[in-house]
Copies of this chain bind each other. A is one copy, B any other.
Amino acid sequence: MVIPVEDSTDPRIADYVRLRDVDLRKSLEGGRGLFLAEGEKVIRRAIAAGHRVRSMLMTAKWLDRFADLIDGDGDGDGDGVTVYLVSDEVMEGITGFQVHRGALASMERRELPSVAEVLRGARHVVVLEDLVDHTNVGAIFRCAAALGVDAIVLSPRCADPLYRRSVKVSMGSVFSVPYARLKDWHDGLAELRDHGFRLLALTPAESAVPIEEALTGERTALLLGSEGDGLSSRWLAEADQGVRIPMSREVDSLNVAAAAAIACYLLTAAAR
């Protein structure tokens, strides 16, 4: 069903308000149990992963591309999705000053699996502690998917993989890589160890072992810390070993997404 909407404050499109206001979106999306997917590829991946579409928002030029969803053939439940059709001006008012390049879908969140569920059968796991940047979270999911990491575990405060920017940067990998969130930060790593995982803490510290020398275990969890400070001293102490990516110059460093790419490549190399 296609419903024209002419006013950006129309309550029917309230799922999409103030897209560039990160704090507002966090509380809104959590409160309503939704997330936004952007662009055809990502929207279709979200649907394929079983997420239900609450509604879509687009300008007229995109209608044909989503005809199957509007007719109800493409979204799995046989009901057509509701599309709110807006002008370029309204779309731009909603999405901010950069002209938006596609359609948006508001999707229902599902309950996350437990940590035990995502660890079952996994060999190579990445654990993210308190990352704040949604671009980095999305980039790490994309790497994990491409390189065959089995699951991702998030600290309680780690940025949301279903935030619009994460979803977009991940190219929808947040729908294909199983992930769970620890309930407890302080003692949360014990659950990974109980499942037989060896915990490697990625750190730039000179005293750490070069990562390639440490990738010997059957089940390995790679711990990655936040952008500014890296891993907390608590998690560094809890890990079985500190590992580092050898660098050429002491003054330079890798950002967490680049470090994750290299570490995930090495972590899963033997299994690919």
Contacts and interface: CB of A to CB of B under 8 A. Distances in A.
The quantity of this chain's copies bound in the complex is 2
Given A247-B272, A248-B268, A268-B248, A253 B146 contact: yes
A224 interface: no
A94 to B, nearest CB: 15
Interface string A142-179: 11011110000000000000000000000101001000
Given A265-B245, A268-B248, A254 B148 contact: no
Contacts of A145: 248-249, 252
A262 interface: yes
Contact of A258 (B143, B148, B252): B143
The size bracket of the interface on A is: 20 to 34
Nearest to A265: B262
Contacts of A97: 20, 96-97
Contacts of A259: 261
A249 B139 contact: no
A15 to B, nearest CB: 22
A255 interface: yes
B272 A261 contact: no
Nearest to A145: B252
Interface string A229-261: 000000000000000011111001111011101
Nearest to A248: B148
Contacts of A262: 261-262, 265
Given A254-B261, A262-B265, A249 B148 contact: yes
A248 B146 CA distance: 6
Contacts of A245: 265
Given A97-B97, A146-B247, A148-B248, A258 B176 contact: no
Most buried by B among A176, A246, A268: A246
A245 B147 CA distance: 9
Contacts of A139: 255, 257-258
A171 B254 CA distance: 10
Contacts of A246: 269, 272
Interface string A116-155: 0000000000000000000000010011011110000000
A173 B258 CA distance: 15
Interface of A: 20, 96-97, 139, 142-143, 145-148, 171, 173, 176, 245-249, 252-255, 257-259, 261-262, 265, 268-269, 271-272
9 contacts: A139-B255, A146-B249, A146-B252, A171-B252, A246-B272, A248-B271, A257-B261, A261-B261, A262-B265
